[in-house]
Amino acid sequence: MVTDPTGPWPTWRDAWSTALYGPGGFFVRSRPADHFRTSVHASALFADAVHELARRADLRTVVDLGAGGGELLRHLHAADQDLHLVGVDLAPRPDDLPAAVGWRADLPEQVDGLVVANEWLDNIPCDVVEADQDGVARTVHVEPSTGAERLGELCTDPWLGRWWPLSEPGTRAEVGSARDAAWSDVVGRLGRGVAVAMDYGHTMDTRPAFGSLTSYQHGREVPPVPDASRDVTAHVAVDSLPADRVVDQRQALGALGISGERPPLDRAHDDPRGYLRALSTATEAAELTARGGLGDFVWVVSARGVPLLL
């Protein structure tokens, strides 16, 4: 890799931002479900759990931040037409969203309700840094159409030394300060309510040595290139986020009544239809709670004026 601090290539953070959210950007013109599968696509049980959390906290408004194709909102609307539902996304409102569901490009000043952000933080662009041959962290710049990289200026963000110190030449990190600021902004808007970010993440003990920057396109993981043809994502440093509680999705869904436990076999004789229904529910729940899969996702929870229910 060439070291050239004066090169014209943008930083990863700038290129990532333009590729996903600029004019013609990936998320502005395509639906997440066409490229990758999240918990909201996997099963309506995820929406059932969100509904149950709102019910237990006595919250009648649910804001889906980074609502994508609106799948979660559609499930919630079908389950409870009295909920006040709002999708927030930079993408245009999906055509097939029920008229009663609101849609906007940014969060309201204050939210009294439940804010859910499933796989939102991992798409917040951040600086990518790499330790040079002297072990000094430098900001990585990228050529947007090819993904070719070169090292630029020293990274002076104090977040890096505190949360993801680098010293071995060639090791890399995604600087989480942009995500921390984005999530602080969300939590700061809560009046009476709960905010939950669900995402794949790491902590000090589990940081990936070479970072986790990658892309998805039409269901496949592909090399990260900020050319607007694919998403750009990196796992979230969940321990630096503001939070009242952090639990994995397996525990969170279990607490909300969703488990992957199979129905007892003898039910197949007494109630074959009921058994098949229960088996299908258990199969979907198993995907949402799987080790090495969606069950390892982290729920980062903050509550204001309501008890912490997870």
Ligand X SMILES: C[S@@+](CC[C@H](N)C(=O)[O-])C[C@H]1O[C@@H](n2cnc3c(N)ncnc32)[C@H](O)[C@@H]1O
Q: Which is nearer to ligand X, 64 or 239 (CB)?
A: 64
Q: What is the spatial distance between Cα 176 and Cα 211, in angstroms, rounded to a whole number?
A: 11
* H, E, C per residue of 89-111: CCCCCCCCCCCCCEEECCCCCCE
Q: Minimum distance between the CB of residue 251 and ligand X, rounded to whole angstroms?
A: 19
Q: Minimum distance between the CB of residue 39 and ligand X, rounded to whole angstroms?
A: 6
Q: Minimum distance between the CB of residue 20 and ligand X, rounded to whole angstroms?
A: 7
Q: Minimum distance between the CB of residue 33 and ligand X, rounded to whole angstroms?
A: 6
Q: What is the spatial distance between Cα 144 and Cα 116, in angstroms, rounded to a whole number?
A: 31
Nearest of 54, 63, 46 to residue 105 by alpha carbon: 63
Q: Minimum distance between the CB of residue 93 and ligand X, rounded to whole angstroms?
A: 12
CA 141 to chain centre: 24
Q: Which is nearer to ligand X, 131 or 196 (CB)?
A: 196
Q: Which is nearer to ligand X, 73 or 131 (CB)?
A: 73
Q: What is the spatial distance between Cα 305 and Cα 310, in angstroms, rounded to a whole number?
A: 15
Please report, as ranges, the residues that interact with ligand X according to CB under 6 A: 27, 32, 38, 40-41, 66-68, 88-91, 118-120, 123
Identify whether the C-beta of residue 249 lies closer than 8 Å to the C-beta of residue 39: yes
Identify whether the C-beta of residue 20 lies closer than 8 Å to the C-beta of residue 225: no
Q: Which is nearer to ligand X, 127 or 130 (CB)?
A: 127
Q: What is the spatial distance between Cα 148 and Cα 126, in angstroms, rounded to a whole number?
A: 17
Phi, psi of 163 (to 5 degrees): -110, -25
Q: Minimum distance between the CB of residue 196 and ligand X, rounded to whole angstroms?
A: 12
Q: DSSP character for 222?
A: E
Q: Which is nearer to ligand X, 43 or 118 (CB)?
A: 118
Q: Which is nearer to ligand X, 101 or 166 (CB)?
A: 101
Identify whether the C-beta of residue 249 lies closer than 8 Å to the C-beta of residue 219: no
Identify whether the C-beta of residue 87 lies closer than 8 Å to the C-beta of residue 102: yes
Q: Which is nearer to ligand X, 31 or 277 (CB)?
A: 31
Q: Minimum distance between the CB of residue 134 and ligand X, rounded to whole angstroms?
A: 35
Q: Minimum distance between the CB of residue 283 and ligand X, rounded to whole angstroms?
A: 20
Q: Which is nearer to ligand X, 51 or 138 (CB)?
A: 51
Phi, psi of 61 (to 5 degrees): -115, 130
Nearest of 292, 299, 295 to residue 259 by alpha carbon: 295
